[in-house]
Amino acid sequence: MTKTVARPTEAELEILGVLWNRGPSTVREVHEELQERRVGYTTVLKLLQIMAEKGLVNRDESERAHVYRARLAQDQAERQLVGDLVERAFGGSASRLVLRALSTRSASPEEIERIRELLDELEGDDR
């Protein structure tokens, strides 16, 4: 079972998004991806150092430019975040979370179809 890691901040989630999309990256590469957000290089460096301390990323120090990689795959991190949210904000009720999410934002036809498929799979598991 995967050990729970610290809950990332919004800025840390942005950096994790870069690492999930690009794969292992240097500070410079992450900074370049975040250029439109006007985030400074030293800010990205400091955030990655903090994230390494928190266990959100692993740092490869074998090269001059350290390479960072997300400690968890995106789906693992999302599961942890959603599980935490369900417990903290929805009293453990996954259905309340889903109903609130769907009442807050419109789902595309593709998303609705995927939701139906997932519900069919879950119903099949209970039979």
CATH of the domain at 28: 1.10.10.10
Are residues 34 and 79 both part of a single domain? Answer: no
Is 27 part of a structural domain of the chain? Answer: yes
**Are 81 and 47 in a shared domain?**
no
Select from 70, 88, 117 the last residue of a domain: 70
53 is in which domain, residue-wise?
10-70
Question: Do the domain assignments include residue 4?
Answer: no
Is the same domain home to 34 and 59? yes
Residue 31 makes CB contacts below 8 A (sequence gap 6+) with: 39, 40, 41, 44
Domain boundary pick from 47, 70, 93 = 70
Q: Count the domains in the chain.
A: 2
How confident is the model at residue 1, as a pLDDT?
Answer: 46
Measured in whole angstroms, how far is the alpha carbon of residue 79 from the centre of its chain?
Answer: 9
- Are residues 66 and 60 in contact, defined by beta-carbon separation less than 8 angstroms? yes
Q: Is residue 100 part of a domain?
A: yes
pLDDT for 6 equals 82
The verdict on residue 93 lying in a domain is yes
| Per-residue pLDDT tens digits for 80-92 | 999 999 999 999 9
Does residue 18 form part of some domain? yes
Q: What is the pLDDT of residues 47-97, one digit of tens each?
A: 999 999 999 999 999 988 999 999 999 999 999 999 999 999 999 999 999
In a domain, 5, yes or no: no
